[in-house]
């Protein structure tokens, strides 16, 4: 700034927040990137075709505010009505708007103490009271904790960053016990071997299921998330969306998103490949002294029996292998390792073998 500034009264009117810190997005191309749970495979070839056939002249016009092309493709895929699907700019957009729409009371919203780190950020942003319910010593949620008075409930299944799956019966018990609150099940990682509760939206009007294109559909760079729920729930969410920004999904996103959903074969192929790699790598990591439970996500959340997570995190990073580490209570000894390609995982294992070796020497 070139000229001198008055000290500023306007700052008293500013909403101050502690923002979420996303996982590092290194600019270097030569890294093994296992830190933000992206898909190691490219998007469906149908997406490339959609791009090739996209007429860029149409970009002068606003997109369809109803996002019908994409909504219809998802409705067909999940066998629900078009009025049961909401789409947004990544599941973060869908979840943030859901917090704003559904958690509008003085009672605390409930979520696990170890969970997706954006939940408390949204609650703070919108001044929503919340209470973290501690997971048990095995990182499992205690269902009784979600059967107390509350302003709403949200948890991921499988949970993040633990990767642990909750039985669908337990999830249903929690939904059924809370007819006076909206229960959001965040299924960002459900496609890697967990069971979705989408079929339950026909039974429970207060259930919202949120999913994303960023993991199993290999489209993190396109920013698509969606929610499936009762027509009434989706209607309220649309009202808030149309009060915020009518046109959130651009024309390219709608075209590529639809093409992606329509290629079910490719989707099955890449998710199965990631599951196979994960299962193949589990015994390797165990052999090297890592401890972890049964992950149903595209990552493994593990600690090492002797080496600290902070040490491993830094040593891996120095050699261009990025994983995720949080300096937070209860999980500071864990690393979250995204499942990459077989080749990437073999390089990780080779690096770990070498590191253990040199450490013993």
Looking at residues 244 to 263 of the shown chain, list those that interact with its own copies (rule: CB under 8 A).
244-253, 256
Q: Nearest approach, Cβ of 256 to its own copies (angstroms)?
A: 7
x/- string (CB under 8 A) for its own copies, residues 19-48? Answer: xxxx--x-------x--x-xxxxxx---xx
By CB under 8 A, residue 149 contacts its own copies = no
Indicate the residue among 152 and 303 with the shorter CB distance to its own copies. 152
Piece in contact with its own copies (CB under 8 A), picked from 157-165, 177-185, 281-289, 341-349: 177-185
- Among residues 306, 292, 304, 307, the alpha carbon closest in space to that of 339 is found at 292
By CB under 8 A, residue 326 contacts its own copies = no
Indicate the residue among 50 and 307 with the shorter CB distance to its own copies. 50
Q: If you search the block for the tokens 């997706």, which residue do you land on? A: 116
Torsion (CA) 256, 260, 261, 262 in degrees, nearest 10: 100
Question: What distance in Å separates the CA atoms of residue 86 and residue 106, rounded to the nearest whole number?
Answer: 26
| Contacts of its own copies in 210-249 (CB under 8 A) | 214, 218-223, 230-232, 236, 238-249
| Contacts of its own copies in 63-92 (CB under 8 A) | 63-65, 89-90, 92
Indicate the residue among 165 and 234 with the shorter CB distance to its own copies. 234
Indicate the residue among 92 and 187 with the shorter CB distance to its own copies. 92
Answer for which of 119, 122, 146, 290 binds its own copies (CB under 8 A) is 122
Q: Nearest approach, Cβ of 169 to its own copies (angstroms)?
A: 18
- Among residues 72, 96, 95, the alpha carbon closest in space to that of 85 is found at 72
CB 350 within 8 A of CB 187: no
Size of the site for its own copies (CB under 8 A): 98
Indicate the residue among 102 and 313 with the shorter CB distance to its own copies. 102
Answer for which of 76, 144, 167, 180 binds its own copies (CB under 8 A) is 180
Tokens at 43, concatenated: 């998007």
Whether residue 42 is preceded by a cis peptide bond, meaning omega within 30 degrees of 0, is: no
Indicate the residue among 67 and 157 with the shorter CB distance to its own copies. 67
Q: If you search the block for the tokens 């999830």, which residue do you land on? A: 171
Q: Nearest approach, Cβ of 228 to its own copies (angstroms)?
A: 12
By CB under 8 A, residue 351 contacts its own copies = no
Indicate the residue among 16 and 360 with the shorter CB distance to its own copies. 16
| Contacts of its own copies in 154-173 (CB under 8 A) | none
| Contacts of its own copies in 262-321 (CB under 8 A) | none
Question: What distance in Å separates the CA atoms of residue 228 and residue 71, rounded to the nearest whole number?
Answer: 10
Question: What distance in Å separates the CA atoms of residue 156 and residue 165, rounded to the nearest whole number?
Answer: 9
Structure letter (DSSP) for residue 182? -
Structure letter (DSSP) for residue 324? B
Residues with Cβ within 8 Å of residue 212, at least 6 apart in sequence: 90, 91, 188, 224, 225, 226
Question: What distance in Å separates the CA atoms of residue 128 and residue 57, rounded to the nearest whole number?
Answer: 43
By CB under 8 A, residue 115 contacts its own copies = no
Q: Nearest approach, Cβ of 16 to its own copies (angstroms)?
A: 7
CA dist list (Å): 111 to 126, 172, 230, 282, 289:
16, 16, 22, 29, 31
């Amino acid at each position: 700034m070139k000229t001198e500034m008055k000290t500023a009264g306007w700052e008293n009117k500013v909403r101050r927040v502690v923002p979420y810190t996303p996982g590092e997005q290194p600019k270097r191309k030569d890294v093994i990137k296992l830190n933000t749970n992206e898909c190691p495979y490219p998007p469906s070839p149908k997406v490339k075709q959609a791009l090739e056939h996209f007429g860029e002249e149409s970009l002068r016009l606003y997109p369809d505010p109803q996002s019908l092309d994409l909504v219809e493709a998802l409705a067909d895929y999940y066998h629900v009505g078009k009025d049961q699907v909401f789409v947004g700019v990544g599941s973060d957009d869908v979840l943030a708007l859901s917090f704003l729409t559904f958690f509008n009371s003085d009672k605390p919203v409930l979520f696990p103490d170890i969970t997706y780190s954006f939940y408390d950020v949204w609650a703070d942003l919108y001044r929503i009271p919340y209470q973290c319910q501690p997971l048990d010593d095995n990182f499992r949620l205690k269902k009784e904790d979600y059967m107390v008075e509350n302003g709403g409930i949200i948890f991921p299944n499988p949970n993040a960053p633990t990767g642990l799956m909750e039985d669908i019966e337990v999830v249903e018990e929690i939904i059924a016990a809370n007819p006076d609150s909206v229960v959001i099940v965040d299924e960002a990682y459900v496609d890697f071997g967990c069971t979705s509760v989408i079929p339950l939206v026909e039974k429970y009007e207060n259930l919202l299921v949120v999913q994303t294109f960023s993991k199993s559909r290999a489209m993190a760079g396109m920013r698509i998330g969606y929610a499936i729920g009762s027509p009434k729930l989706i209607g309220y969410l649309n009202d808030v969306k149309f009060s915020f920004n009518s046109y959130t999904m651009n024309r390219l996103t709608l075209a590529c998103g639809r093409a992606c959903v329509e290629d079910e074969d490719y989707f099955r192929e890449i998710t199965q490949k990631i599951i196979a790699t994960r299962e193949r790598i589990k015994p390797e990591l165990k052999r090297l002294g890592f401890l972890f439970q049964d992950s149903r996500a595209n990552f493994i959340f593990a600690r090492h029996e002797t080496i600290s997570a902070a040490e491993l995190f830094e040593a891996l990073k120095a050699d261009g292998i990025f994983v995720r580490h949080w300096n937070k209570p209860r999980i500071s000894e864990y690393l979250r390792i995204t499942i990459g390609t077989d080749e990437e995982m073999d390089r990780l294992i080779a690096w770990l073998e070498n590191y253990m070796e040199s450490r013993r020497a």
